[in-house]
Structure 1
């Protein structure tokens, strides 16, 4: 019986050996196809990164002389060092998946340098700015936490979790004992940090995003056969997210999405190791709330990084900051954990959907850059990272994702090999050696060829999207009695040279956006199709992000929703009108019925450096004529506002606040009817960019029931205005404009700090939006 990780030994934490286990990455090799290309492109991206630049924040905090300065972007504005942890994981996966000698040498160098850093830090390995003072405060129980700030530091546990995970991954993937020792020393440092904290203090600390600390601590319990790490893993599980899930309560709306997903990955991992059925049920419930109620066709979720109401997908269509790649990276991890424990096919179906249509699509196939937000807004676009500039979270998870595509193609179920995904690859284990030949999805078949004799049975996944599957064993037809969602069992033994061919009929289908039944995505089997868009003639867009703090957002002009291609008529006629184009990679022409364009559909994972459209409105001519004038007016008003906007902040939302360098004291954030707010009994502030312009206006959005609050608004060290919110207004939002005199603007900078200061005994805010406008 195989274990979940080939290098881990069974311990007291495993109630019983799992029936389903994943095939170790080192025993799978990708062969010619889109995932092999992705892997090799990522390998070059990894080698292009400078190890010493990534080490620089850790050397700085350890007081060790640096060999070079750190990278910029998120790496020198508060999240210093987070990329190194991702890099360690990515190198570990790539070393296991390819055995590349340059990758191994890079890993060897990093471990040598990390040993030096750890010796100077008494176990600590982090680049969090001001680490020494921060951790002294935490150890002494001085804890001030909000959603993204712990003692005024940007998500420090999220940051160091990446290094914990990186060391774990190196040991699990390569068996390097130096990584095991470094991780143990780091674990001892963490134990010492929190040993005198109460459970309440730890929970207070966990209010700030902390990644998947509970998951890596659970893994450490297995690695070191040490119960104390399982106890610590449970202590690092946030009750605010766990308890509603245990009760079957949906409390996700408005939460920062990717803050929650790694916590639930940890819950699922603890359940797997401890056999706790209630925790497993909680993780499954979370998965269903996200995948079945808040996920779009590509497998992604969230708008502006937050879970919007499950009955309101208007933000998904209107905003440019659509599903975040990190979310899907973590949802795939969760799906694999849940499949191992339950064997339910829905987890495989989702994994396949997210892998092909979001993860694979998020990497540029030539320069290897990564996408942060994948907009669902019709005719918008994406921007990709540049290897020496973009240091976002989705670059970190991206270099990991594209180093481990082989991790879930195959799994073991007792005495059987399961074939889960149709990806050209080979597997080489003591029990079975075979290779999979396929041109999926351009062709709807795959062939398995045995490279050695084996006694194992085969279990071939029968996908939910497939038509009547056909199977041939050594050219002889096999009767298929399994149904979609099950596995097709082929009994061993096998001889070298034996072949199994599987034909998977793929059909065109439409999938409505949740809560938007008139908007549909087009799929071919599990593959999401999309069209290129060229709404503006001679438009010049940059598809490579700059190194600004918000460079990951595709902030160019938006196209009017009213001008997007749409289909008039019955959806059955629409599907019938699609025709596959001959003699070229997978693509379809569209027939009659389209207005405002006649798109050609191709797999979204192949669509790059262009505006695009995934969701198309389907309506009647009469309804469209009724809606068009209203939509055009909305588009015109929205376009004018965006043209006037120089900068904007959504208070209470994690990334917009961190991108604008939020500061504050005695400040709170919350959610009102799905909208985020922030207020303070003292003060809070943001940095706004005015881009050298003058004649500006500050627009602030309030809620009508907050009447009577009084505060001051300051621009740098100068008072802009006094504010007293009106009383007697209803439960709705409203905006007030405050002109900014030109003499208040800084003369030698393109930004200033806007500060909201509560008057004695009063409250500043709540603010729902801060927008800087040019007249």
Structure 2
């Protein structure tokens, strides 16, 4: 039925026949609505990017003279070249979705230039700084890996995976043989790189974040009908994540979230191609651990990019680095793969929820900038990328996401068309041609109109959130026997002009935050509602991130949690007090019962350039009075600490360490009682920014049971202090402040390197937090 699907069914090693396939993106067109607007906004963003700047890191590594300098930000600080792969994928999807000729010209130019680069590199196509020396070391089995550094290079396999995936997507979407050949040459380079490595060495290498290498290698097995790529895909599957999932063990707490999700996307893809039921169950179990236990209302997960304990969502409410958009981008891929293999409606429900409330909300509707973190902290805000500055990972996945909104609206189930999402669109395939007219979610109905005769049956998704669904076929009511979570089945044949109307009653509902039963989000059907918050102390916030290493974080002042609007009374009364506002697109007023504000609720995907609130506390008047004084004290202490903090690091956490240019030898990181740590038998160091200020204090956080460890603390090439951790303390954390003399601070730089050096026979650390303060708080 479908070209690409028949391709993998015909592959000799594929033993699993899958009934469900998605309708190819090139056969679907978005029509008027928020997703078409998003697509067109993204098209402008893609065309505003400079192809030669994106090629620059790859040309540099190939020894080819550059026409322009590369972009800055993450593109010239270690992850050089990662955006080129994302860009290839985004262009390929966008051309399939729109047939835009400017997009096609960009693709043609990139493929031509990549051919030149690859000829000079014997197959390699990467911008990793110092590529030649790095890959020679790996080929010779010299492997030193930690969570984000492979032989002292920032996640090089994660980086080059983007180019592998970009070439795959270009070939699969366009059929361009140049992309197929480039990918094959790249694959041969990879095979040669690891051919002499043992399975143990490859597993050691995979300790460092490596994206979805196993997924793209599995796809290459299909593209080239080559079993060796499937074997390599399995070798590139990290056992540290797979084995606990196979055993049904939850080992996710504390792990860097988006390091793990692409690995499991690969596990699910291998299962789809091979029919391995155990690997499929492992991927399903991972999905349940993430979605059902660690996900908030918008469909996102993680705090400071890591999975937190399932029974502690306090960090989700308190931290400003909330769910990362990349995570949800990859969870959508996983959900689509699992739905194709199981037909379970929960994967569609999650896909819909996350697409509307996290992915769509993560793009600015005017300038097209992308969001990295979406805080759940009440009354905080988001920052967006600037097209010529922000080169974050969530920009890369963002330009992909908003190029392919049409990829899962429709799917085929043998001789039936499934309608999965209520998005205004049309589809044109040899088997069926129709268009979907809808103003969802502003209206609770959709209509399908056949543009040609068809023999196919229809399967209309009955969402779990919908009330009693009604269906009309050419104006005549159809009895609905299906239940929520099933499909409403309508038999063909169909004639041109036939119409099917579907009414999907939408209700207001409350959804508690996991492990925080007194905090609720408000939904209308699958749409998360939120309220704008007033500026804090007449501030003027910057909603565009700068080009600094941490410009993706909304680092402005936090509003006190104790001052956020909250609801006093029964939750049922809260729902009945909500009134839809007339002459407004899906807006609700709130009734009596709110303290500290009277929020107006609108869809979160329409809320931009503002502080906002998604979760509202529900409590009794007595409960609020009891907690308010204590919460105010906590807020004041936290606000004072943040005011005096110039920089901070969470050792052992991947992105904070990367953002602070971690270096080290014989160093280890781990998790203790849910907290990350780092220590070393030799040394480790970070770069801290003092922003030109003096009279500083270094605050270090330790664990009470690490007593007796002795190490030195150095500031650049000058010793700051000697440390010997106290003995006889209990299993708890404590902090120590170390004043920094002004004469130790660099005079011509706004940053310095703080280094922790173990004394002979001892250990430096463990460190749980590093803060640079403007003055001592003792």
TM-score w.r.t. length of structure 1: 0.99
8 Å CA contact retained: 1:457, 1:493: yes
For the residues of structure 1 that align with 2:417 and 2:402, how far apart are their CA atoms? 24
8 Å CA contact retained: 2:8, 2:273: no
Gap change, CA 1:99 and 1:9, over 3 Å in 2: farther
8 Å CA contact retained: 2:666, 2:681: yes
8 Å CA contact retained: 1:3, 1:17: no
Q: CA deviation at 1:114?
A: 0.1
Gap change, CA 1:6 and 1:449, over 3 Å in 2: farther
8 Å CA contact retained: 2:4, 2:172: no
Q: Which runs of 5+ in 2 are unaligned?
A: none
8 Å CA contact retained: 1:449, 1:497: yes
Deviations along 1:107-128, one digit per CA (max 9) or x if unpaired, are: 0000000000000000000000
1:479 corresponding residue in structure 2: 479
8 Å CA contact retained: 1:299, 1:357: yes
1:574 corresponding residue in structure 2: 574
SS of the aligned residue for 1:6 comes to helix
Gap change, CA 1:6 and 1:594, over 3 Å in 2: farther
Deviations along 1:62-81, one digit per CA (max 9) or x if unpaired, are: 00000100000000000000
Deviations along 1:427-459, one digit per CA (max 9) or x if unpaired, are: 000000000000000000000000000000000
Q: CA deviation at 1:539?
A: 1.6
For the residues of structure 1 that align with 2:534 and 2:683, how far apart are their CA atoms? 46
For the residues of structure 1 that align with 2:10 and 2:177, how far apart are their CA atoms? 18
8 Å CA contact retained: 1:535, 1:559: no
Q: CA deviation at 1:14?
A: 2.3
SS of the aligned residue for 1:7 comes to helix
For the residues of structure 1 that align with 2:410 and 2:749, how far apart are their CA atoms? 56
SS of the aligned residue for 1:303 comes to coil
Q: CA deviation at 1:538?
A: 2.6
Q: Does 1:123 align with 2:127?
A: no
For the residues of structure 2 that align with 1:621 and 1:729, how far apart are their CA atoms? 40
1:317 corresponding residue in structure 2: 317
For the residues of structure 2 that align with 1:691 and 1:2, how far apart are their CA atoms? 57
Question: Which consecutive segments of 4 or more residues in structure 1 shift more than 6 A?
Answer: none
Count of residues in correspondence between the two structures = 774
Q: CA deviation at 1:334?
A: 0.1
SS of the aligned residue for 2:5 comes to coil
For the residues of structure 2 that align with 1:767 and 1:259, how far apart are their CA atoms? 23
Deviations along 1:676-707, one digit per CA (max 9) or x if unpaired, are: 00000110000000000000000000000000
Q: Does 1:179 align with 2:179?
A: yes
Q: CA deviation at 1:583?
A: 1.1
Q: CA deviation at 1:528?
A: 0.1
TM-score w.r.t. length of structure 2: 0.99
SS of the aligned residue for 1:335 comes to helix
SS of the aligned residue for 2:584 comes to coil
For the residues of structure 1 that align with 2:582 and 2:63, how far apart are their CA atoms? 63
8 Å CA contact retained: 1:6, 1:24: no
For the residues of structure 2 that align with 1:719 and 1:503, how far apart are their CA atoms? 71
Q: CA deviation at 1:3?
A: 6.0
SS of the aligned residue for 2:8 comes to coil
1:764 corresponding residue in structure 2: 764
For the residues of structure 1 that align with 2:441 and 2:582, how far apart are their CA atoms? 15
Q: CA deviation at 1:13?
A: 3.0
Deviations along 1:244-278, one digit per CA (max 9) or x if unpaired, are: 00000000000000000000000000000000000
For the residues of structure 2 that align with 1:566 and 1:16, how far apart are their CA atoms? 52
For the residues of structure 1 that align with 2:68 and 2:601, how far apart are their CA atoms? 47
Q: Does 1:245 align with 2:245?
A: yes
8 Å CA contact retained: 2:211, 2:262: yes
For the residues of structure 2 that align with 1:675 and 1:75, how far apart are their CA atoms? 30
Q: CA deviation at 1:761?
A: 1.2
Deviations along 1:644-682, one digit per CA (max 9) or x if unpaired, are: 000000000000000000000010000001100000011
1:105 corresponding residue in structure 2: 105
Q: Does 1:544 align with 2:560?
A: no
Superposition CA RMSD, Å: 0.8
8 Å CA contact retained: 2:361, 2:606: yes
Q: Which runs of 5+ in 1 are unaligned?
A: none
8 Å CA contact retained: 2:16, 2:272: no
8 Å CA contact retained: 1:254, 1:671: yes
2:295 corresponding residue in structure 1: 295
SS of the aligned residue for 2:308 comes to coil
1:713 corresponding residue in structure 2: 713
For the residues of structure 1 that align with 2:102 and 2:142, how far apart are their CA atoms? 45
Deviations along 1:747-769, one digit per CA (max 9) or x if unpaired, are: 00000000000011111000000
8 Å CA contact retained: 2:16, 2:274: no
